[in-house]
Structure 1
Amino acid sequence: MQKTKTYLSETVMNLKPSGIRRFFDLAASMEGVISLGVGEPDFVTSWSVREACILSLEQGYTSYTANAGLLELREEISRYLARNFQILYDPNSEIVVTVGASQALDLALRAIINPGDEVIVVEPSFVSYAPLVSLAGGVPVFVQTDGKQEFKLQPEQIEKTITSRTKAMILCSPNNPTGTVLNRRELEAISAIVQKYDLIVISDEIYAELAYDEPYTSFPSIPHMQERTILVNGFSKGFAMTGWRLGFIAAPKEFAQAILKIHQYAMMCAPTMAQYGAIEALKNGESDVEEMKKSYRRRRNYFVQSLNELGLSCHLPGGAFYAFPSIQSTGLTSEQFAERLLMEEKVAVVPGNVFGQSGEGYIRCSYASSMEQLQEAIRRMKRFLERL
């Protein structure tokens, strides 16, 4: 009998697989590969954090926590945000602990989107933003930033895309994949547009700990922005806790309680042992974060200078641990460059086009690798470019 219908969601069927994953899978099947593709710290989680987790297991803390997370952790998050970014959130009603920042993004979008609502996605963007908007029933609308302006979002670009259906915007600073950081003056200019058109902002600040050249400005710290911002953050990047899968949202009570409602049905709570580790990270782990940050800064300076010396033009990223050099001078597309570099010199990078149309002509290189690996990667890239 001929099949006449599918049982799968059309939205899911129309989603493209992650472009990053294909290169990870290719690299994993080869020996001797230097991977500059993974967006993950190369540091192990601080011992005191691991010890706190082990202690929680030994003491038998293996049950569910409150849906919003351990109150002690939420109180530490509240103190952390006040101490580092000068923003105040009530730990009882305005903070929710999630299973990574990725779940926090998903929950935030589902909490605010009605079918057909438009959400502005700034490109190049992290690969999950647009799919998560679509899965929530919304319509992603893309704003393309320009490498000649170091991929900094311009307020007039936002205004051109706004329609009667525009509800929200996803902002990411420091940015994945470009490493670009928006300073306070630039964020204030964006906030004027947000106010003018009554927008909600989902501010992805997972790389906030990794801003190198000037004090970091959190978007809800801009006047009048906290009331219309859902702040997404977590422990993966700055605290080197990727596998712990622990993030959080901080938002006005109306948003936070709507997010909590979804979270309690979809996930119940974040892993208990990880939450005890996170308490320790916030209480005593910031000196370890500072040491990691110093190391990333040294690697950034070496790697970006080396890329420019190779003829791959690259702005100095202000944060995160990514360089986003142009490969346009080679005459290859992003995918051609990345695939040939992997096959011929066993260096894995991510083609820029997987982060959106404005990423074509660029590649993303993570410098969260040892200095020795970065130096060897540069040598291999030099050989590759000389053959071209």
Structure 2
Amino acid sequence: MRGLLLLLAGLLATLTATAAARPPRLLLLDSAALAAYKTAYRQGRPAEAGAVKALLAEADQALTKAPDPITSKPQLPPSGDKHDYLSQAPYWWADPSKPDGKPYLRKDGLRNPESANMHDAARLGQVCQAARLLGLAYYFSGKEAYAAQAARLLRAFFLDPATRMNPNLNYGQGIPGTAPGRGFGIIETRHLTDIPDALALLHGSQAADDKLTEGLRGWFRQFTVWLTTSPIGLQERGSENNHGTFYDLQVVDFARFTGDEALARTTLQTQTLPRIGVQFAPDGAQPLELERTRPWNYTSMNLEGWVKLAILAQPLGLDLWHYRTPDGSGVGPAVAWFAPYLLGQRQPEKPDVAPPSNRTILAIYDRVCSYYPALPVAQVFARYPAEVRLPWSL
């Protein structure tokens, strides 16, 4: 018996060591495109050299930033634990007819400045953006300072017991007088998909060691369990619009990052594919997003989620790029739907209440052109000569 126990202990140690040695992989960024860009940069090609120089200058600014962990907030979540994420629903406003304004009323597309007083969403977005930026800077320059700063920020936000974020969103997008937290808050953690790619870019540095990688994998495993089992997570899974898209994106991305490809594949097959018939019309329109007060913003944003899901699905043998429902709906027609608007052949039927941006949809067009040869990508970018095409834009 003792010998058997020793054998099992040895096998477990071997498996643990193997898992720890498993290097992070790029999940969303295109490794071949990045490698080609890096080669051109090292050869001194002007366009690539200029873009990387600008990237490194931006990363230099991030080198001096102190960690701003989730525990920095002055507010106390309902749990009494500052390690819990806290945010308020942005489109909900105090009811002027009530003495205390509660319960709040919804005004779609109009952000309540009160919600901006809770900074956890900004903190989370900033650490994800900084990690990705510093990862790219390390990838192109090889300078350890970028990796060290990225590791410092990531440890403070996710791993340090004194400052780490608890792996849940129990109090995301709460509504005063209605709910302390809702499934809709999960849209705010979509930027977490930057972290696995950041770690892949940092691989090989002294700072981004196995301890950091496995610590983050552990955090993401816990968060994925919360996403897929908690009442709030399951509530968001049932969302039909962009919230459902970005819920799936997070589950699939985190599952692949942590090595649970079965969960990633099951999510894509049982949740993501059925969403296509719900979200897209045969002509590529997105009715659920077009009815919003910022239709261009929401259709572009939702399509970004779908493109990233297609990227994640491809290594699993699932082709979302060319999948079609019986009526012809799919990601391909949804991408093509934007072309006449981008080319100036059509005007939006319903303008956004806030100034729209083409940045997201142009980044999408740059990324997907190899999957859709008939897409008029060259003509589109000819109309936007100031838009720089970069392999890390999306």
Provide the TM-score with structure 1 as the length reference. Answer: 0.28
Question: Which structure has the larger Rg?
Answer: 2
More helix, by proportion = 2
Higher strand share: 1
Name which structure has the greater RCO, CA cutoff 8 Å, separation 6+: 1
